[in-house]
Amino acid sequence: MESAQSSLFNVSIDFGTSHLFFPHIIHWILAILFAFILVLKVLPFLAAVRRGERTLPIIGEPMHVGLFIGTLVLIAAYFYLMGVVGELFPYTGLGFLFTSIVFVFLMSLMFMGRKSRRKVITALVNAIVAPTLAWFILGKLFYITLP
Amino acid sequence: MDILASLDFSFFLLAALGTLVGIIFGAIPGMTATMAVAVCLPLTYALGLEHGLALLLGLYVGGISGGMVPAVLLNIPGTPSSITTTFDGYPMAQKGEGERALKVCIVASLVGGLISAAVLFLFAPMLADFSIKFSYVEKFLIILLALTVIASLSSNMLVGVFSGVIGIWLSLIGTYSLSDGGNGKTRLMFDFLEPYLVDGFALLPVLIGIFGISTILLEAEKGVKGGLSGQSLKVGKEGHFSLGMFKGRLTNLVRSSFIGTFVGMLPGVGGSAASVLAYTQEKNLAKDSSQMGKGAPQGLIASESANNALTGGALIPLLSLGIPGDSTTAVLIGAFTLQGIQVGPLFIPENSATWYVMMVALVFANFVMFFLMFFAIKHIAKVVLVPKYILYPIIVMMCVVGAYAINYGIMFDVWTLLIFGVVGYLVQKIGLEVAPLIIGFILGGSAEVYFVKSLESFGTYSIFFTKSPIAMVLWGLIAASVIFAIVMEYKKRAQHRLEAAQ
Amino acid sequence: MSTPKNSFAFGMIASALAATLALGAGVAMAADGPLRGNVRVVIGSSSTGGDTYQNSSIVVDKLAEKLGVRMKVDAVGVSAAYRALDRDPRGNTLMIFHDQSYLGNLYGVEGYEDPFENYIIGPTIAINPGNAYLVPKDSPYQTLDDIIEAVGNGTTVRVAIQPGGVSEIGYTALKNAIRIEHPGKEDNLVAVNTGSQADKNQLLFDDQADLINGSVQANEQYTRLPEDDQKAMRFVWLTARNDTIQQAPESGLGETDRETLLQYVEPNVSVTMGDEDFTFDKEFFFLYNKDMDPAIVEQIDATLEEIYAEGEIQEEQKKSFFIPDFMPSDEALAHLKEKASRYEDIIDSLKK
């Protein structure tokens, strides 16, 4: 009894492949849960979509494509250019500062909705002051490495 | 005694200054207490040990506390340990109770901080001896217990658990790290991604990506209405704060503080587990926890008292074993080594002056935190009145700084922000749940290490049940937590059916 | 948006850019010599509480002062450090690491390329003499010889180490010594692979290991606990050379003086490699990008030479229990290559 029980639970992990042991277990749990979700949630949902009661997420929903894609592209460009500009002035944080000023201003404009002279000026002042402050305090005073 | 000699005006000034800077660091999404301490570490060399510690402990307490601000007001956890604060804080802020929510958090933080300081002062060496009773097996069970919160936290248990397991899976991407005793091999990725993913996805960028960037994407999708960030928020109009809110919550407050202290005490379990565990326990043990997750002060009390109690807790193994209890104390250890002071089991008896001075700084910092925040909060809460077009770009920018700085300057961490911003967006769109996913992500890594290492040492699954009385108690708690979650789910469905029938 | 606002905005941004550019340029011009601009020193450890960070900051602070450039130590960790170094041949990124760089490669750990081939080896700066092995205070093994004997007689001895580098090399050497003295018995010495010092200690407390790798700095206080304390430990071996420990401050570390520490190094404790005793000093040194200007290599060598000649840095290093160990680049390269080849032999001799 004792030995039967212990052999059932026994496990020996080869150190060389131990990095796959836990992920393997997680994969099985994921697969089983996914099967349940498929049957209990996804299939009924798809049936409801077919009947026209529900809509598919993202594709079927109304969305503001321009602003959404614009935000994504702007953020990606910001991250990318920060590194590129940063390379020109190694470890001064200027890459961060320059691209942030441009980014903050552009993103402000995108999220502004109806524009007015006052709002644009506020956004501009903010776009210059906020990154400069962040750069000065964190990069210069606290010596944090910035891109 | 040279204790009084160290406790001069500048000592208190430094502690207060540290607390203030810490709060600011904690309050900026992406900046953490750990970062605040790391950044100021070189300064302490010039300050000397006692004064340096005053500054650093102030930063530590302030940093942990400051995390509540963006958690409540913006739904972005300022530090990983304030994640559970968002669950109830943000719904309250949406109801116009941001200021009230923050005040609850501040009081809870003070109590948590003081209780843990008292525990640290009175029982440090004894508790250190207790903490070493927790080997891999028991630590795994603690993590498992914290993971059970996923079941009770999710609005649909199946989907919630699935999201949680996805979170765990995401946390495993990268190397099975040598420094955890792994074999240093990478998994769950394509070869060409190896240069970027060897260290996996870092916690902080994932967190602020999923909470911060994805929120902005969701807003973008809805289009601009040109409103304020907190559209219908009436700051401080509704429901004034009073200490009466803590009536009947004392057990919760004290229990959560002890849980926080205790989790902080266990090296390797990680700071974020503290508030998660306290939140779980409140959810399981409270008479009525049905409002938790929808804006209940009791959730804030559990979360914030636990994460501030972490400070005293994490100092226990640091000062009585020489082993840091969380990532911030791991940096703090540098302050001692820089001064040529060893921390270890004999630190307290051999450096009693420093020890008392530290306690003074810790308690003082907690009070400073309380006064600074309690009276400034009215103004801080107005952050939600800043128009979106000003606020959002700044949030993105600060998230970038935080993500880039968390591992001392790694560009991939910035990209992680965007990746998880998109992941967070998709997850919410297809109906998965964010909170379980992120909790899975936070706890997944240590779950793996402790699970695999337990089996490597003992070679049998049965060890998880038979290792020690502590293990059995933990199983009892885990079982109770799971059963509770199932009962709650069942009740919820019954109620739905009832409502549908009417 | 209307045009006037646009140009106004552009004007503002342009002037802000110009102003900051001038500021940045001012910083960059401060130094003369081949090394210019801001310099970032990445280290192979992600901890700011560890020995690599501490050591690097002592040296980098002095270097920055002498060179008149702004230098900053960033604890980014091994893989990120190598990646940052790979990308930058200009000399704005330097790296400081220790023997792990080549040991990781010798142990075949993923992500560790041969540093001698892929990077320029810079000067060595210091030794951390603390690498140690400990047993519980109530252990039946009094000395390392007891352990070698016991393993030779067929007893299994479990050693807690962090695999793949500095923590494992002592274990490997011990295993090799057993192979030489008691051929065929070396498999009775088993490694318990674990991570941090906390984990290693914990394995000892849990009785899951008989011997652990540790350090003088992290474990000295544990050796002074009374025997009935569950946490009490005892040193049995320091891997450093006798000469290295001789240079430590006479007061040693904590309450353990140099005299006591010397009991645990060769020749008092002997781990044979066949013809001589095994020793291991954990040495810290610079690594540079392969294509970096040789003039920068020379500049750093010369500046460090000056700094070490002044003698102040040695005091600071010793205060933190590091042994000053300056060798200019070419000397360092020869020394480390020779060291690596010795360890390669030991590691290879145990491969089957």
- Residue B485 CB burial class (10 angstroms; 0-12, 13-18, ≥19): buried
Q: Kindly list the residues from chain C whose CB atom is less than 8 angstroms away from the CB atom of residue B344.
A: 218-222, 254
Tell me the pLDDT tens digit for each residue of A6-47.
577 888 889 989 999 999 999 999 999 999 999 998 999 999
Chain B CB within 8 Å of residue C100 CB: no
For residue B209 the two structure tokens come to: 């990506």
Which chains would you list as touching A if contact means 3+ CB atom pairs under 8 Å? B, C
Answer whether A134 touches C (CB < 8 Å): no
Nearest to C79 among B199, B330, B331 (CB): B199
Is position B402 within any domain? Answer: yes
pLDDT of residue C111: 86
Q: Do C38 and A90 touch (CB under 8 A)?
A: yes
Strand partners, B206: none
Structure-block tokens of residue B361: 């700084």
| B25: chain A residues, CB-CB within 8 Å | none
B147 contacts: CB under 8 Å, gap ≥ 6: B164, B439, B440, B443, B447
Q: For residue B68, is it within any domain?
A: yes
- Convert B308-326 to b/e letters by CB count within 10 Å (16 or more is b): bbbbbbbbbbbbbbbbbbb
Residues 210-239 of B with CB under 8 A from C: none
> DSSP letter at C48?
S
Question: Considering only residues 306 to 335 of chain C, which have any Cβ-Cβ distance to chain B shorter than 8 Å?
Answer: 319-321
Instruction: Please report how many Cα atoms fall inside a 13 Å half-sphere around the Cα of residue B100, on the Cβ side.
Output: 26
B459 touches chain C (CB under 8 A): no
Q: Is residue B229 part of a domain?
A: no
Helix (H) or strand (E) holding A70: helix A65-88
Would residue B228 count as lying in a domain? no
* Mean residue pLDDT across chain B: 88
Q: Which residues pair with C233 in a beta bridge?
A: C136
- Predicted confidence at residue C6, as pLDDT, reads 41
Return d(Cα A99, Cα C329) in angstroms, integer.
Answer: 39
Q: Cα–Cα–Cα angle for B228, B229, B232, nearest 5°?
A: 65
Do C225 and B346 count as a contact with CB atoms less than 8 A apart? Answer: yes
Check if C38 contacts B (Cβ < 8 Å): no
Position B194 in a domain: yes
B160 within a domain of the structure (yes/no): yes
Angle between helices C216-223 and C197-205 (to 10 degrees): 30
Long-range contacts of C6-10 (CB under 8 A, 24+ apart): C8/A124, C9/A105, C9/A120, C9/A124
- CB-based contact, B394 to chain A, within 8 Å: yes
Query: Two tokens at C51?
Result: 């020995």
CB–CB of C222 and B344 under 8 A? Answer: yes
Please state, in angstroms and rounded to a whole number, the distance separating the CA atoms of residues C311 and C323.
13
Specify the pLDDT at position C260. 96
Q: Does C74 touch chain A (CB under 8 A)?
A: yes
Q: Which of B39, B49, B178 is most worth mutating to test chain C (most C CB atoms within 10 A of its CB)?
A: B178
As averages over each run of 10 residues, the pLDDT of chain C (352 residues) reads 40 44 42 81 90 93 93 92 93 96 94 94 97 96 96 96 94 96 95 92 94 95 94 96 95 93 95 93 97 95 96 92 96 97 93 70
CB-CB: which of B183, B198, B456 is closest to C111? Answer: B198
- Which one of B165, B217, B390 has the shortest CB-CB distance to A26? B165
pLDDT of B223 reads: 78
The number of domains in chain B is 1
Which residue reads 């892929």 in tokens?
Answer: C118
- pLDDT < 70 positions in chain B: 1-3, 225-239, 270, 502
Compute the C-alpha angle C344/C348/C352, nearest 5°: 170
> Over the Cα atoms of chain A, what is R_g?
27
Q: Cβ distance B168 to A26 under 8 Å?
A: yes
Is B231 a domain residue? no
Statement: residue A105 has pLDDT above 90: yes
What pTM did the predictor assign?
A: 0.90
Is B479 contained in some domain? yes
Which B residues 278-307 touch A at CB under 8 Å?
Answer: none
Chain A (73-102) residues lying within 8 Å, Cβ to Cβ, of chain C? 89-92, 94, 97-98, 101-102
Cβ pair B386, A130 in contact under 8 A: no
Q: Cis peptide leading into B345, omega within 30 of 0? A: no
Token output for B166 = 């996805």
Q: How far is B138 from chain A (nearest CA, A)?
A: 18
In this complex, which of A33, A79, A96 lies closest to B415 when CB atoms are compared? A79
The token duo for C335 is 């020394």
User: d(Cα B184, Cα C291) in Å, to the nearest integer?
Assistant: 29
Whether C21 and chain A come into contact, CB under 8 Å, resolves to yes
- Residue A109 near chain C (CB below 8 Å): yes
Q: How far is B163 from chain A (nearest CA, A)?
A: 9
Dig out the tokens for B127 from the structure. Answer: 């508790």
**Token pair in block for residue C127:** 């030794």
Q: Which position has the token pair 């603690």?
A: B142
Q: What is the pLDDT of residue C117?
A: 96
Residues of C within 8 A of A15 (CB-CB) are 163, 193
Domain of B403 in residue numbering reads as 2-223+239-501
Which chains pack against B, by 3+ Cβ pairs within 8 A? A, C
CB contact under 8 A, C72 and A91: yes
CB-neighbour burial class of residue B288 (10 A; exposed 0-12, middle 13-18, buried 19+) = exposed
Other residues' Cβ atoms within 10 Å of the Cβ of residue C341: 11
State what percent of residues in chain B have pLDDT above 70.
96
Interchain contact, A143 vs C72, CB within 8 Å:
yes
Name the residue facing B390 among A17, A103, A126 (closest C-beta).
A126
Residue of B127, B136, B410, B468 for testing the chain C interface, max C β-carbons within 10 Å: B410
Q: Which of residues 94-113 of B touch C (CB under 8 A)?
A: none
pLDDT confidence of residue B287: 80
